[in-house]
C-alpha cells in the first residue's frame, strides 16, 4: 500500500529516511518521498510505500502451499494494529525488490513474482506477463467501440467500429525498490487500420510492489468527441491468457455479491456417469483432476461440451445477468442472475491464469466482464468500463435551449429553473473519468477464499492513516478538532453531523446515485412534493461541489478517522475532479456549475475545479492521478481569459484583458490561492509562490481589503491593481474554500503586510450589525446571506482577537437565521432532525426522507459546526439561543 503522513513545521528534513514498524515490532521495507514542504523547506507531507507482508491470506492449497523456490508468496493478510513511522532510521531493503530495466526497446518490470514487458509505444499496455519463467498473459490492451448514432428506442441499423489504445509515451515515475510506477499515455485509433481521427486520449498508470503478484491499473480517459456524431458503445481493458491445460482442468470464476460462479470449461460434475468424488471435488476447488479412473467417463470426455465464452453484465446498480456458450455461432445459455457483482473474475487453469477486476464495478454501471475462447489455446479476459450491451453513451445536451438565446432570456430561465443556460456551453468535451482495476497473475487456479480476498482488496483497498489527533498536531488543513461529546451542547452538534453524513449515505443508496458519469456526486436540492431530489430541474439537480460538500466530508474524515467517511469523500473527489471539470478544449481547467448534466451549466469557473477540494485525497494517499488534477492548475489565472464568470450580470463594460483581468476576491481568488499554495508546497514553484504572496499583498493594500469584492489582475506581473476603492459583498465569496485557505495562509505566517487585517475585517463585519458596518465602511453591507455558514468567519475573528462578544455572536448566528437577506435556511428552522417514512402508491418504493435538508445547507452546516467547535468551542452556550 501507499499512504501519506503530515509532519509539524520544522520537525523533519527533506533528506531523512523513514522506517515503518509493524504491530509485531518488525521493521518493514519502506520507500518514501516528499509530497509537500513547509515554507522553511521542512517536510509537510511525506508518502510511503510498503510491500505485502504478514501471513498467507488463504489456507495452504495449490500455489498457496508456499512460494516457489526463491520467490515470495503473492497473497498476504495484513496484520491489524498500530504501525509506527519514524524519520531518521534507514529501512530494511525488500528481500526481492521491484526492478525496472530497459532492453530491446521495452521496459521489463519485475516484482520478484511477476515480470511485465512493456513496449515503449504501440497497441499494448504490456506485451507479455510472466510468472517465474512461464508466460501467463499476452497483449494487455485498451479497446473501444464507436457507434455512428444514438441507440434507437425501437432498434434499427447501426455501425460499430472497434478502436484500440495506441501508446505514444511511456514514463517511469518510480523505479523501486518497494514500488514502481509506469505511466502510459496515448489515444484510441481504428483497429482496422483505416484512416480516422485519433480520439479518447488516455493515461494509464501501472503500480508494482515488491513481492506482489498483482498489478494495480489506474485508467483515465478524456472525452473529446462531438456529441452529435460520436457515441461510445464500449470501453474496456483486455488481456489474453495462455491456456495449457486439459479443458476439465481449466476454470472460470465470476464474482457475485458474496462468492463466485464456479465453472470448469469442461465440467465433470452432474454427469450421468460419476468420475468420482475426488475428481469432482478437485475440479470445483480448482485443483488438478488427475487421472479419471472411471472408464465410462474417461472414454467419453470428447462428448462433454466445452464452454468457451462467459459474460457477466451489470446493467444497473440492482442486477447483473450471466450467460455462457459453447462457441460463436451458437446460442447463449443463461445462468441464474444476481444483484451486485464484486466485479472480479478469473480465467486459467492448473498451470496458471489471470485474475481481473474493476473497483466499484456495480456502482459504475453499465459494466461487464467477458471471458472468450477459454476452450482454445488463448483465452481473452475483458473488463468493460462501459458495457457494449448497454445503449451507446449519449452526451448530447438534454434540451433544445427553449429559446434562451440572449443573456436576458437566460437570466429569466435562471429565475425559474435555476439553470444557467447558454447555447454551446453544455458540452461534455474535455470531461474525464478515472477507473481503478487490477490484474493478478497466478501460477494455478486460486481457491475460492483467495479470490474472495482479492475481490475485497480491490473494492476496499487497505490504507494506513494517522489518527486525527496526530494529523491535527501537525498543523495542516486549518481549523478543526476531533469530536468532543463532553457536554450536551457539543454532543447535540456531533449528533447532527452524524445525522447529515448518514443521510447522504442512505440517499445515495435509495436514490441510486450510481453510474458511469454520476457515481461520487450528490444532488443539490430536495423536492418534498414529489418525495425526490430535483434531478430534472435545471440547476437544482447534480451538485457539482456547490457550496463545498467535498470540504465538509474531508474535514469530517480528518476529525473522526472513519473509513466510511473517507470512502464517500474519495468517491466524490474522483467524480468532481474528473467529470465536473474540463480537461481539454476552450474551458480547460474550469469546472461546471450544478445542472441536470454534470457539464451542462454555462457557468465555467475555478470554484468547481478548485484545488482545495483535491488536496486532502492527494496528501493522504499520494495518488498520482489526483496529483495530475492539481498539476492541471499550474497557471490557474490563465483560465480567466477563457470566459468572464460575471458576463451575464455585469453593470460595467468589461472584456477579459491580460493586463486587467477581473478576479473576484472570494470564489475566484480562493481557488487561485489554493492552486498556487499547493503548487508551491508540492513543487517549490517560485512563480506560484510569487503570485500567491503578491496577490495577498495586493488584497492587504486595497483600501477595503476583501470587502472590495473584486480586483484587476495583471497576468504578466501576477499583481492586483490596488487603486480600487469600493464595497461589494457576495454571499458566495466564502463558501467555496476561502475561509479554509485564508486560515492556512495566515497560520503559515508568510509576512505579507495587511493580509490578516483584511481578512479579519471581512470576518468581523460580514455578520456585524448594520450600524457597525456603516460606521466602519460608510454603508451597511447588502446581500448578506448564508448566515449560519458565515458564523465561522465571526468565530475566526473571535479566536484571533480573543473577543468573547464576537464568539457569542458567532454561536447566535450559527443557531438562529437572523438577518438573512436572500435565503431561507430550512436546517435552522427544523427543530427535530429526523427521518420520515414515505410509503404507498405515490412513490416507486418505500423510502426515508428528510425534506428539510439541501446540500448547500448541509455542507455549510458541517463546515460551520466543525470550525466553530475548533475555534470557539469553549464559548459554546449550554443551550441554543431562542
- The pLDDT tens digits for 419-447 are 999 999 999 999 999 999 999 999 999 99
Q: What is the pLDDT of residue 67?
A: 33
pLDDT in tens, 759-778: 999 999 999 999 999 999 99
- Rounded distance between C-alpha atoms, residue 180 and residue 173, angstroms: 7
pLDDT in tens, 795-847: 999 999 999 999 999 999 999 988 888 888 889 889 999 999 999 999 999 99
- The DSSP symbol for 122 reads B
- Rounded distance between C-alpha atoms, residue 717 and residue 566, angstroms: 40
Residues 398/596, Cβ–Cβ less than 8 Å: yes
Q: Which residues contact 227 (CB under 8 A, 6 or more apart)?
A: 394, 395, 396, 397, 427, 428, 429
> Which grid coordinates belong to 508?
445515495
- Rounded distance between C-alpha atoms, residue 482 and residue 560, angstroms: 6
Residue 565 has pLDDT above 60, yes or no: yes
Whole-number percent of the chain with pLDDT over 90: 90
Identify the residue whose cell numbers are 470531461.
Answer: 431
Q: What is the pLDDT of residue 645?
A: 84
Could you tell me how many residues make up the chain? 882
pLDDT in tens, 675-728: 999 999 999 999 999 999 999 999 999 999 999 999 999 999 999 999 999 999
What would the mean pLDDT of 292-319 be, rounded to a whole number?
97
- Assign 65 a pLDDT band (cuts: 50, 70, 90): very low
Give a three-class secondary structure readout of 193-255.
CCCCCCEEEEEEEEEEECCCCEEEEEEEEECCCCCCCCEEEEEEEEEEEECCCCHHHEEEEEE
Reduce the DSSP state of residue 437 to 3 states and report it: strand
Q: What is the pLDDT of residue 656?
A: 85
Q: What is the pLDDT of residue 193?
A: 74
Reduce the DSSP state of residue 358 to 3 states and report it: strand
- Assign 213 a pLDDT band (cuts: 50, 70, 90): very high
Peptide bond into 177 cis (omega under 30): yes
Q: What is the pLDDT of residue 554?
A: 98
Residues 17/88, Cβ–Cβ less than 8 Å: yes
Type and span of the H or E element at 764: helix 755-765
Q: What is the pLDDT of residue 455?
A: 97
Residue 459 has pLDDT above 50, yes or no: yes
- Rounded distance between C-alpha atoms, residue 730 and residue 74, angstroms: 57
Q: What is the pLDDT of residue 822?
A: 87
Q: What is the pLDDT of residue 738?
A: 98
Sign of CA dihedral 457, 459, 463, 468: negative
Q: What is the pLDDT of residue 56?
A: 39
Q: What is the pLDDT of residue 823?
A: 86
Residue 79 has pLDDT above 80, yes or no: no
Residues 133/68, Cβ–Cβ less than 8 Å: no
- The DSSP symbol for 447 reads P
pLDDT in tens, 101-156: 998 889 999 999 999 999 999 999 999 999 999 999 999 999 999 999 999 988 77
Q: Which residues contact 613 (CB under 8 A, 6 or more apart)?
A: 545, 548, 550, 551, 554, 573, 576, 577, 737
Cα angle 294-298-300, degrees, rounded to a multiple of 5: 125
Q: What is the average pLDDT value for the chain, to the nearest integer?
A: 94
Q: Residue 214: how many CA atoms within 13 Å on its side-chain side?
A: 25
Note the CATH number of domain 102-266+307-462: 2.70.98
Other CB atoms within a 10 A radius of the CB of residue 399 amount to: 14
Q: Where in the chain is the domain with CATH 2.70.98?
A: 102-266+307-462
- Rounded distance between C-alpha atoms, residue 40 and residue 14, angstroms: 11
Q: What is the pLDDT of residue 70?
A: 35
Residue 55 has pLDDT above 70, yes or no: no
Q: What is the DSSP string of 251-308?
A: EEEEE-SSSEEEEESS--SS-SS---HHHHHHHHHTS-------HHHHTTGGGS----
Residues 462/80, Cβ–Cβ less than 8 Å: no
Type and span of the H or E element at 353: strand 352-358
Residue 59 has pLDDT above 60, yes or no: no
CA nearest to 603, candidates 857, 426, 859: 426
Residue 60 has pLDDT above 50, yes or no: no
Amino acid at each position: 500500500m501507499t499512504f501519506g503522513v503530515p509532519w509539524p513545521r520544522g520537525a523533519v528534513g527533506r533528506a531523512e529516511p523513514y522506517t515503518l514498524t509493524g504491530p509485531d515490532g518488525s521493521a518493514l521495507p519502506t520507500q518514501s518521498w516528499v509530497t509537500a514542504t513547509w515554507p522553511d523547506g521542512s517536510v509537510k507531507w511525506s508518502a510511503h510505500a510498503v510491500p505485502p507482508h504478514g501471513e498467507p491470506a488463504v489456507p495452504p492449497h495449490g500455489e498457496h502451499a508456499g512460494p516457489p523456490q526463491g520467490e515470495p508468496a503473492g497473497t498476504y493478510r495484513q496484520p491489524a494494529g498500530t504501525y509506527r513511522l519514524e524519520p531518521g532510521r534507514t529501512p530494511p531493503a525488500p528481500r526481492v525488490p521491484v526492478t525496472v530495466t530497459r532492453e530491446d526497446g521495452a521496459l521489463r518490470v519485475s516484482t520478484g513474482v511477476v515480470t511485465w514487458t512493456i513496449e515503449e509505444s504501440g497497441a499494448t499496455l504490456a506485451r507479455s506477463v510472466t510468472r517465474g519463467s512461464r508466460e501467463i498473459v499476452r497483449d494487455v490492451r485498451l479497446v473501444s467501440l464507436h457507434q455512428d448514432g444514438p441507440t434507437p428506442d425501437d432498434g434499427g441499423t447501426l455501425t460499430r467500429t472497434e478502436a484500440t489504445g495506441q501508446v505514444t509515451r511511456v514514463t517511469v515515475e518510480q523505479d523501486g525498490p518497494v514500488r514502481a510506477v509506469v505511466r502510459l499515455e496515448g489515444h484510441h485509433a481504428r483497429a482496422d487500420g483505416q484512416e480516422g481521427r485519433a480520439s479518447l486520449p488516455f493515461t494509464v498508470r501501472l503500480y508494482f510492489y515488491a513481492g506482489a503478484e498483482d498489478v494495480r491499473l489506474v485508467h483515465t480517459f478524456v472525452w473529446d468527441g462531438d456529441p452529435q456524431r460520436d457515441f461510445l458503445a464500449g470501453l474496456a481493458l483486455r488481456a489474453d491468457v495462455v491456456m495449457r491445460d486439459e479443458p476439465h482442468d481449466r476454470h472460470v470464476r465470476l464474482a457475485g455479491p458474496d462468492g463466485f460462479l464456479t465453472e470448469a470449461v469442461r465440467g465433470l460434475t452432474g454427469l450421468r456417469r460419476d468420475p468420482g468424488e475426488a475428481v469432482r471435488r478437485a475440479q470445483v476447488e480448482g485443483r488438478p483432476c488427475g487421472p479419471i479412473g472411471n472408464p465410462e467417463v474417461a472414454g467419453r470426455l470428447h462428448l462433454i461440451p466445452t464452454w468457451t465464452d462467459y459474460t457477466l453484465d451489470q446493467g444497473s446498480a440492482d442486477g447483473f445477468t450471466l450467460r455462457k456458450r459453447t462457441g460463436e455461432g451458437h446460442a447463449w445459455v443463461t445462468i441464474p442472475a444476481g444483484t451486485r457483482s464484486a466485479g472480479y473474475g478469473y480465467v486459467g487453469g492448473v498451470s496458471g491464469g489471470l485474475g481481473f477486476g474493476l473497483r466499484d464495478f456495480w456502482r459504475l454501471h453499465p459494466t461487464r466482464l467477458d471471458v472468450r475462447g477459454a476452450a482454445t489455446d488463448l483465452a481473452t479476459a475483458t473488463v468493460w468500463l462501459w458495457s457494449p450491451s448497454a445503449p451507446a453513451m449519449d452526451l448530447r445536451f438534454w434540451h433544445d435551449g427553449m429559446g434562451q438565446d440572449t443573456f436576458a432570456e437566460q437570466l429569466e430561465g435562471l429565475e425559474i429553473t435555476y439553470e444557467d443556460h447558454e447555447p454551446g456551453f453544455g458540452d461534455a468535451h474535455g470531461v474525464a473519468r478515472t477507473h481503478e482495476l487490477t490484474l493478478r497473475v497466478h501460477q494455478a487456479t486460486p481457491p475460492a477464499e483467495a479470490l474472495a480476498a482479492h475481490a475485497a482488496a480491490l473494492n476496499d483497498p487497505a490504507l494506513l492513516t494517522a489518527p486525527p489527533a496526530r494529523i491535527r498536531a501537525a498543523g495542516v488543513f486549518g481549523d478543526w478538532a476531533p469530536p468532543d461529546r463532553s457536554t450536551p451542547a457539543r454532543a447535540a452538534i456531533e449528533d447532527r453531523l452524524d445525522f447529515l453524513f448518514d443521510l447522504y449515505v442512505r440517499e445515495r443508496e435509495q436514490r441510486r446515485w450510481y453510474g458511469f458519469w454520476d457515481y461520487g456526486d450528490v444532488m443539490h436540492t430536495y423536492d418534498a412534493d414529489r418525495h425526490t431530489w430535483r434531478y430534472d430541474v435545471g440547476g437544482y439537480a447534480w451538485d457539482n461541489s456547490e457550496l463545498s460538500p467535498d470540504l465538509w466530508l474531508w474535514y469530517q474524515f480528518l476529525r473522526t478517522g472513519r473509513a466510511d467517511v473517507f470512502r464517500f469523500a474519495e468517491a466524490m473527489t474522483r467524480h468532481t475532479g474528473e467529470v465536473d471539470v474540463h480537461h481539454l478544449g476552450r474551458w480547460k481547467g474550469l469546472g461546471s456549475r450544478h445542472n441536470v448534466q454534470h457539464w451542462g451549466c454555462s457557468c465555467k469557473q475555478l470554484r468547481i475545479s478548485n484545488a482545495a477540494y483535491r488536496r486532502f485525497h492527494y496528501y493522504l494517499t499520494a495518488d498520482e492521478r489526483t496529483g495530475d488534477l492539481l498539476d492541471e492548475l499550474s497557471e490557474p489565472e490563465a483560465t480567466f481569459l477563457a470566459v468572464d464568470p460575471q458576463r451575464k450580470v455585469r453593470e460595467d463594460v468589461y472584456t477579459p484583458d491580460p493586463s486587467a483581468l477581473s478576479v473576484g476576491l472570494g470564489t475566484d481568488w480562493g481557488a487561485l490561492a489554493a492552486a498556487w499554495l499547493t503548487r508551491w508546497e508540492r513543487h517549490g514553484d517560485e512563480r506560484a509562490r510569487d503570485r500567491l504572496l503578491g496577490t495577498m499583498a495586493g488584497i492587504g493594500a486595497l483600501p477595503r481589503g476583501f470587502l472590495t469584492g473584486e480586483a484587476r489582475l495583471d497576468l504578466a506581473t501576477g499583481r492586483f491593481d490596488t487603486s480600487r476603492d469600493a464595497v461589494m459583498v457576495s454571499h458566495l465569496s466564502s463558501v467555496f474554500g476561502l475561509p479554509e485557505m485564508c486560515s492556512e495562509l495566515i497560520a503559515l505566517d508568510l509576512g505579507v503586510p495587511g493580509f490578516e487585517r483584511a481578512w479579519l475585517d471581512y470576518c468581523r463585519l460580514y455578520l456585524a450589525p448594520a450600524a457597525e458596518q456603516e460606521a466602519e465602511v460608510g454603508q451597511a453591507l447588502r446581500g448578506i446571506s448564508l448566515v449560519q455558514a458565515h458564523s465561522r468567519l465571526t468565530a475566526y475573528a473571535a479566536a484571533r482577537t480573543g473577543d468573547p462578544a464576537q464568539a457569542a455572536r458567532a454561536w447566535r448566528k450559527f443557531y438562529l437565521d437572523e438577518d438573512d437577506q436572500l435565503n431561507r435556511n430550512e436546517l435552522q428552522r427544523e427543530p427535530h432532525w429526523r427521518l420520515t417514512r414515505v410509503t404507498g402508491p405515490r412513490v416507486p418504493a418505500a423510502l426515508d426522507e428528510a425534506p428539510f435538508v439541501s446540500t448547500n445547507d448541509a455542507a455549510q452546516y458541517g463546515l460551520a459546526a466543525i470550525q466553530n467547535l475548533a475555534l470557539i468551542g469553549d464559548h459554546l452556550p449550554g443551550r441554543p439561543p431562542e
